[in-house]
Amino acid sequence: MKLVEWLRGEGKIQGFLRDLLFVAAVVAAISIFSQATLGVWTPMVAVESGSMHPNMKVGDIIVIQGASRTEVVTWEEGEAEGYTTFNNPGNVILYRPYGKEKLTLTDQVAHIFLRRPYPPDKATPVIHRAMAWVDAGEPMWEGGPEAPFAGYITKGDNNSEIDQNAGQLLGVVRESYFNEQMAKGMIEEVGAGTYLDHEFGYTFIRRGDETYVIFGINYLMPVHEDWVIGVARFRVPVVGYVRLLPNIIGNEIRELLS
């Protein structure tokens, strides 16, 4: 009771704490409402690149409906059914590339202001269109390699290549390194023959007796259903720059210091 009475006082500290508690309560209420209605705790993401231009532009805020609350319609299905979103057939999805965990606010603040690198086993989610669904063993594109597991073929509306064909093989992984990382529990299998190295952020694929390290958006593998965070429902222009401003300022400061 004494704490409550103290918070009701007229001092500057009490006023600041009351404002802080009010903001926290509002954020909590929005998050709970979002989870109840959309199925996600944080329903809005800011567009950071031009890969979906002109249907989504840098600085737009995109409202996401959680994957558990809806079904994904691919470009192929949307074209057949006459269903479009953001000016093209099918749904735009938000997904975790290679199944990596999302960057947290702490990760982003440390990167911007303390110049720390992003954790290698985390990544910014990608917001691209679901073009098609492939089952394990089906070619991911005409004449392309077989899908190691079932999932979505994805592409940015402004990109010339699908995500699964936008990357490169960097080389063959030493078996001794692979086995050491496996023994340490630093390598996790995220799909049939596909692995993530949580220490350095490498992505590996095993083909026969060899293991390759790959680089790209979501190279040589479809987007696993479990990696999909949600479906884009509508956009709010420009407002996302508020979210992107710290990154822009941080990049400018780093450029000046270097």
pLDDT in tens, 83-128: 999 999 999 999 999 888 877 767 766 665 666 767 777 888 999 9
- Asked if 149 and 249 sit in the same domain, the reply is yes
Residue 166 has pLDDT above 90, yes or no: yes
- Asked if 149 and 204 sit in the same domain, the reply is no
Instruction: Please report, as a single letter, which amino acid is at residue 206.
Output: R
Unique residue bearing structure tokens 């998050």? 31
84: left (phi over 0), alpha (psi -120 to 50) or beta: beta
- Asked if 70 and 180 sit in the same domain, the reply is no
> Mean pLDDT across the chain, nearest whole number?
79
Give me the pLDDT at residue 222, please: 94
Question: Cα(first)–Cα(last) distance of the chain, in Å?
Answer: 54
pLDDT, greater one: 30 or 136: 136
Instruction: Report which secondary-structure segment, H or E, holds 105.
Output: helix 105-113
- Asked if 44 and 129 sit in the same domain, the reply is yes
Give me the pLDDT at residue 32, please: 44
Q: Which domain holds residue 256?
A: 40-165+221-258
What is the domain count for the chain?
3
164: left (phi over 0), alpha (psi -120 to 50) or beta: alpha
Residues 6 or more apart in contact with residue 121 via CB below 8 angstroms? 100, 101, 196, 197, 198, 199, 201
- Asked if 158 and 172 sit in the same domain, the reply is no
pLDDT in tens, 45-70: 888 888 999 999 988 888 898 888 88
Tokens at 160, concatenated: 């010339």
pLDDT in tens, 179-220: 898 888 888 887 667 888 888 888 898 877 889 999 888 999
- Asked if 153 and 184 sit in the same domain, the reply is no
Q: What is the pTM of this model?
A: 0.74
| Cβ-count burial 30-67 (b if 16+ within 10 Å, e if not) | eeeebeeebbbeebbbbbeeebbeebbebbbbbbbbbb
CATH code for the domain in which residue 65 is found = 2.10.109.10
- Asked if 9 and 93 sit in the same domain, the reply is no
Residue 17 has pLDDT above 50, yes or no: yes
